[in-house]
């Protein structure tokens, strides 16, 4: 955009250039040629009919085709990586009086898994944005319909009267009370010690009251009598069977809704949409759509920010940064949503469960953005309301960033609440385009990805923004089971999208760039790539036990492309990870977690998706637990993998680990004892190297199987199962 003085509100910079781009292109070209040679080798040297290992060879060939295609798609994202830079100083200088209203949606679903104190920290962090409070409205969607969450929000509305002035006075960061008080044990000079301790005590008292009420399982009568909202809860209310509940706790229009310094407070609303057992509620998508409609009856801001309840704001200027992209006169009119990367505040030094994924966020997602597409990730995203509600972009029909309040101004709170309840009812969407052309799309577990694609196909341009200061911080998985289950859900939903009418190559054809479609498929194809990984993790090791070689001899020229791809892929991957801020150990951890995900989470996602496509099961939604006990947390902080159960996923992990240590030792013995040791060495050394690499990756698994005594170890039952499976598999013939 160019303002009156010719200045833009943001700029876009290409990430690569000069000699580095030339080197990357050379690397990519040589790897591509090597992949073609590998395919050619598999095709030419395939064992004849009746020869041992023919079908294994074919499986390896198919796996290498999948790996090669997946690598080509992934590398295509690196050709046009861009970085966005907003200029909020220019925005504040020229547009302070024109800043649009913003509605913030915070979603929670279960007060046990997502504790109320966690939820209100996120709410308080966005209430205290460095933004005009009269232009800010916060909505909490409680899909669990819990009076404990409502009570916590009521407490937060009172605490905000002290918290917001404190944040403004001392410019504190972050503005989630729990995170701030935890990080600021040593008081900074500009913060008054007395005020700090007084406010911390207020927070601790509030937290204690909330936790006490939750622990007792009942809200005292004297508390219920203080607010009319508690009358919504009675003996007939159940989590999945209750009426619509909408309560405006702070009315930002009321001049008496002020903090202790006399400044206006932002609007604060509690919502729990109607739920009935016999009606589908569409999980988070249904909750978001209800929020869109409810907010339209109360504030109707043109910009919407949606957050998960554990994703607190880490930058009080995030709204102003985001608006640089929406208010830019040249490009802003076409901007539909602005997606921030998902970041976490509880990451260990070496990111033991590979939650940060720095290369993904700094290169791959930025590459999709550079190719004209941006994935909507479901949280940490600013939306233009009209694009989210189904409007198609047109140069002739531009949307203004103004709130339309013809039906809102002057109406009392009670009327707004009643009007909002009607649009949050189960029956409201019947016969409408909600869930189809309006709001988030229904029918897919990862509805946010589909929604983002449909918005782009309507002509809008989304943007990916990865600031140096993380805008939002959530809670990463602290156990291996949590991490794997989470990725199982994601990959299953994304593979369903690929097999549906929303496949980017079909739905986006002619509407989005081919490169953007390929970028989507990098993630939509997580599930099927598991088959290739399982083949490579199992087949060469079994063949090594049976004396069948599946790779070319070391002395053969055909060995060179295999060696080149292996070495350069890992060398380049390591260099890329280090350049993005990973440590050497965190990169190694990422290799382990990729193996675990592909052989368990993505594999089960593939199976479940195929079963679902055949009509044998229904979609379910799993909420990841946000609370763990002290022992688990201690092991997590010490970067010790947490197993601790007999999960079938852990059985697969243990089986692959045991198979590869057996095959590695047997292969070494075969080479040493073989009559023609030179020949045996050349034939089997590639398979031995592969088994050795997998064995090194699985060192923490062996520790959990044989050496650990804590509750996070792998149970003996899993060990015996894996030994039996490996023994049986080793005795079976190889075809």
- Positions marked active-site: 143, 448
Q: Number of helices and strands (H, E) in the chain?
A: 27, 12
143 annotated binding-site participant: yes
284 annotated binding-site participant: yes
| CA 559 distance to own-chain centroid | 39
In the chain, the largest separation of any two C-alpha atoms, in whole Å, equals 95
| CA 386 distance to own-chain centroid | 25
Residue 174: is the preceding peptide bond cis (ω within 30°)?
yes
Angle, helices 559-579 vs 18-44, to 10°: value is 150
With beta carbons less than 8 A apart as the criterion, state whether 466 and 362 touch. Answer: yes
User: Which residue shows structure tokens 């080509």?
Assistant: 72
Task: Residue 491: name the closest of 528, 459, 457 by CA.
Answer: 528
Task: Residue 626: name the closest of 238, 206, 121 by CA.
Answer: 121
Indicate the DSSP class of residue 624: P
User: Which residue shows structure tokens 């990098």?
Assistant: 522
> Cα torsion at 184, 186, 190, 193 (round to 10°)?
100
Q: Is 629 exposed, middle or buried (0-12, 13-18, 19+ CB in 10 A)?
A: exposed
Query: In whole angstroms, what is the distance from residue 462 CA to residue 334 CA?
Result: 8
Neighbours of 730 (CB within 10 A): 16
Indicate the DSSP class of residue 437: T
Strand, helix or coil for residue 16 = coil
With beta carbons less than 8 A apart as the criterion, state whether 716 and 678 touch. Answer: no
Angle, helices 480-498 vs 584-596, to 10°: value is 60
- Residue 727's alpha-carbon distances to 668, 675, 721, 722, in angstroms, are 19, 26, 10, 8
Strand, helix or coil for residue 243 = coil
114 annotated binding-site participant: yes
* Token pair for 520: 């989507």
With beta carbons less than 8 A apart as the criterion, state whether 210 and 231 touch. Answer: no
Query: In whole angstroms, what is the distance from residue 44 CA to residue 40 CA?
Result: 6
Q: Is 703 exposed, middle or buried (0-12, 13-18, 19+ CB in 10 A)?
A: middle
Q: Is 211 exposed, middle or buried (0-12, 13-18, 19+ CB in 10 A)?
A: middle
With beta carbons less than 8 A apart as the criterion, state whether 304 and 419 touch. Answer: no
> Cα torsion at 507, 513, 517, 522 (round to 10°)?
-170
51 annotated binding-site participant: no
| CA 615 distance to own-chain centroid | 28
Please state the residue numbers annotated as binding site.
114, 143, 284, 308
Would you list which residues are annotated within the binding site for UDP-alpha-D-glucose? 114, 143
């Amino acid at each position: 955009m160019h303002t009156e003085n010719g200045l833009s509100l943001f700029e876009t910079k290409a990430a690569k250039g000069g000699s580095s781009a030339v080197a990357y292109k050379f690397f990519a070209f040589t790897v591509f040629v090597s992949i073609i040679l590998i395919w050619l080798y598999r095709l030419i040297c395939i064992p004849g009919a009746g020869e041992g290992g023919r079908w294994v060879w074919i499986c390896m060939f198919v796996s290498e085709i999948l790996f090669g295609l997946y690598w080509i798609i992934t590398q295509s994202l690196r050709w046009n990586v861009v970085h966005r830079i907003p200029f909020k100083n220019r925005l504040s200088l020229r547009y302070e009086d024109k800043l649009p209203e913003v509605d913030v949606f915070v979603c929670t679903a279960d007060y046990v898994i997502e504790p109320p104190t966690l939820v209100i920290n996120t709410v308080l962090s966005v209430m205290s944005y460095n933004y005009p409070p009269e232009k800010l409205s916060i909505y909490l969607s409680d899909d669990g319909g819990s009076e404990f969450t409502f009570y916590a929000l009521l407490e937060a509305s009172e605490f905000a009267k002290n918290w917001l002035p404190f944040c403004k006075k001392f410019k504190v960061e972050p503005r989630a009370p729990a995170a701030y008080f935890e990080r600021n044990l040593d008081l900074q000079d500009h913060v008054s010690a007395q005020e700090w301790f007084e406010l911390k005590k207020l927070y601790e008292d509030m937290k204690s009251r909330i936790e006490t009420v939750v622990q007792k399982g009942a809200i005292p009568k004297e508390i219920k009598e203080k607010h009319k909202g508690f009358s919504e809860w009675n003996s007939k209310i159940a989590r999945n069977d209750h009426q619509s509940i909408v309560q405006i706790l702070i009315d930002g229009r009321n001049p008496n809704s002020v903090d202790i310094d006399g400044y206006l407070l932002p609007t604060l609303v509690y919502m729990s949409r109607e739920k009935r057992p016999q009606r589908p509620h569409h999980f988070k998508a249904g909750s978001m759509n209800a929020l869109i409609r409810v907010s339209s009856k109360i504030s109707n801001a043109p910009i919407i920010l949606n957050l998960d309840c554990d994703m607190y704001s880490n930058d009080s200027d995030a709204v102003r940064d985001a608006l640089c992209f929406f208010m830019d006169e040249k490009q802003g009119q076409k901007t539909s949503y602005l997606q921030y990367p998902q970041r976490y505040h509880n990451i260990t030094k070496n990111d033991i469960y590979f939650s940060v994924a720095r290369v993904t966020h700094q290169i791959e997602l930025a590459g999709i953005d550079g190719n004209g597409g941006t994935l909507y990730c479901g949280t940490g995203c600013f939306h233009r309301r009209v694009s989210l509600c189904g409007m198609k972009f047109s140069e002739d029909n531009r949307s203004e960033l103004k709130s339309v309040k013809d039906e809102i101004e002057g109406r009392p709170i009670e009327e707004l609440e009643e009007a909002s309840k009607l649009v949050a009812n189960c029956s409201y969407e019947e016969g409408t385009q909600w869930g189809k052309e309006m709001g988030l799309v229904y029918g897919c577990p990862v509805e946010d990805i589909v929604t983002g694609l449909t918005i782009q196909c309507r002509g809008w341009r989304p943007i990916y923004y990865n600031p140096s200061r993380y805008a939002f911080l959530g809670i990463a998985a602290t156990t291996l089971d949590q991490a794997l289950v989470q990725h199982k859900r994601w990959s299953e939903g994304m593979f369903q999208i690929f097999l549906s009418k929303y496949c980017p190559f079909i739905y986006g054809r002619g509407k989005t760039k081919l490169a953007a479609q390929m970028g989507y498929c990098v993630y939509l194809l997580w599930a099927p790539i598991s088959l290739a990984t399982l083949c490579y993790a199992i087949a060469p090791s079994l063949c090594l036990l049976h004396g069948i070689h599946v790779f070319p001899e070391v002395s053969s020229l055909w060995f060179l492309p295999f060696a080149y791809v292996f070495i350069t892929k890992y060398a380049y991957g390591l260099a890329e990870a280090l350049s993005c801020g990973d440590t050497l150990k965190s990169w190694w951890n990422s290799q382990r977690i990729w193996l675990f995900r592909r052989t368990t989470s993505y594999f089960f996602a593939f199976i479940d998706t195929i079963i679902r496509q055949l009509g044998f099961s229904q979609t379910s939604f799993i909420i990841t637990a946000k609370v763990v006990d002290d022992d688990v947390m201690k092991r997590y902080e010490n970067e010790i993998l947490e197993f601790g159960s007999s999960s079938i996923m852990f059985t697969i992990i243990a089986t692959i680990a045991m198979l590869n240590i057996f095959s590695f030792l047997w292969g070494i013995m075969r080479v040493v004892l073989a009559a023609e040791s030179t020949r045996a060495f050349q034939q089997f050394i590639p398979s031995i190297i592969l088994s050795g690499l997998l064995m090194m990756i699985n060192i923490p698994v062996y520790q959990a199987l044989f050496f650990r005594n804590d509750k996070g170890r792998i149970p003996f039952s899993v060990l015996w199962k894996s030994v039996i499976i490996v023994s049986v598999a080793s005795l079976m013939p190889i075809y």
